[in-house]
Amino acid sequence: MAEAQNIPVGSTTAGSIAVAAESTVVSRMSAPPSFDVADFPVPHGREEEWRFTPLERLRGLHDGTAVATGEGVKVEVDAPAGVVVETVGRDDARLGRAGTPVDRVAAQAYSAFEKAGVVTVPKETVLTEPIRIAVHGEGGTAFGHQVIELGAFAEAVVVIDHTGDAVLAANVDYILGDGAKLTVVSVQDWDDKAVHVAQHNALVGRDASFKSVVVTFGGDVVRLHPRVEYAGTGGEAELFGLYFTDAGQHQEHRLLVTHNTPHCKSNVVYKGALQGDDAHAVWIGDVLIEAKAEGTDTYEMNRNLVLTDGARVDSVPNLEIETGEIVGAGHASATGRFDDEQLFYLMARGIPEHEARRLVVRGFFAELVQQIGVQDIEERLIAKIEEELEAAVA
């Protein structure tokens, strides 16, 4: 059920549902997944996975010229009692278990990082306070690796906050034991010049629940690759995203949920607002239901609200189904302009234009924000959305 409504000039909303024996999600990548950067050719920009990305603004992350500098980023972990926080070397066996790099920048990050962070919530430990990971850019270039692992029936909320200025390529692994519940909020609140490219791999255990909230406001280029696979039946994944793309920014979210196990659920909702010249948002939503994944229930949706002329959205939902024995599968994508009739209606009730715009945009994001379930994050997001809108008015 693809839908496209009221598409502004400079936008694409091309969706597809394919019923096929073999996945094109996998086959259309220019190289198979690998931990070694040498296995990937340097992209030239026409590859399926790179065609929307401005390679010239990646500061060399894609072609091997980016070199880690001493003061790249500073990472601080603030965790409640009972959580084990470690910094480990490259040879630690716990790294890279949730997924393998799928493109050259992710492989570059895996090939180049020196120390990795491992945060472990032991089994049956239920946290009442969030784990907070502050990633602050100090103006340099860095390659990172972070593992967050929850033992069986553990429950945790993790907030990863990206601020400052940096060129950062990273892989993040989320490993959920059986029955574990993990909510991860990743906020990209970078300064204007930052470049951030990362792959997020979630491995969802039997009957485990994974909720990812990706919030992207800042940066020059942000390109994130949230991916989910299941390690057992009964797993659930909710992937929520919210972005506010300003003039000149490139914000790209490429999702892949692989239903490789029977009776798992996934629900993807990403919403973005764009304003200003050359604001560019890209959303790729791939869902693959493998032949053995009977009883799968999945839905993905992307909505974009274009507030001004000069912004561009590329939204590509893609659903591939290799078995008909499923509960449900669907996708929707829509990109619309700010609705002048809504503005007129609110203004005709005395509400000044900037406040009317704020109401409409807040309304657009409200439903999504309410689903985050972490109150201080919800409040911060609403404040941040207001701030973005104020900047637009000024």
Q: Distance from CA of residue 95 to its chain's centroid?
A: 20
Pure H helices in the chain: 24-27, 104-112, 340-347, 353-370, 375-393
Q: Which is nearer to other proteins, 26 or 359 (CB)?
A: 359
Among 82, 89, 324, 352, binds other proteins (CB under 8 A): 352
Q: Which is nearer to other proteins, 163 or 308 (CB)?
A: 308
Does 365 sit near other proteins (CB under 8 A)?
Answer: yes
Q: Which is nearer to other proteins, 266 or 304 (CB)?
A: 304
Could you give the C-alpha distances from 228 to 82, 105, 155, 233, 256, in angstroms and in order?
27, 19, 18, 14, 6
State in angstroms the smallest separation of the CB of 238 from other proteins. Answer: 19
- 322-351 footprint of other proteins as x/- string (CB under 8 A): -----------------xxxx-xxxxxxxx
Closest to 226 measured CA to CA, from 252, 263, 205, 260: 252
* # chain residues binding other proteins, by CB under 8 A: 24
Does 360 sit near other proteins (CB under 8 A)?
Answer: yes
Does 362 sit near other proteins (CB under 8 A)?
Answer: yes
- Give, to the nearest 10 degrees, the angle between helix 353-370 and helix 375-393: 150
Q: What is the DSSP string of 296-338?
A: -EEEEEEEEEE-STT-EEEEEEEEEES-S--SEEEEEEEEEE-
State in angstroms the smallest separation of the CB of 305 from other proteins. Answer: 10
Q: Which is nearer to other proteins, 247 or 359 (CB)?
A: 359
Does 364 sit near other proteins (CB under 8 A)?
Answer: yes
Among 4, 359, 374, 382, binds other proteins (CB under 8 A): 359
* Stretch of 191-199, 245-253, 321-329, 359-367 contacting other proteins, by CB under 8 A: 359-367
SS3 annotation, 51-73: CCCCHHHCCCCCCCCCCCCCCCE
Closest to 365 measured CA to CA, from 197, 241, 182: 241
Among 67, 277, 363, 391, binds other proteins (CB under 8 A): 363
Chain residues that interact with other proteins, rule: CB under 8 A:
339-342, 344-353, 355-356, 359-360, 362-367
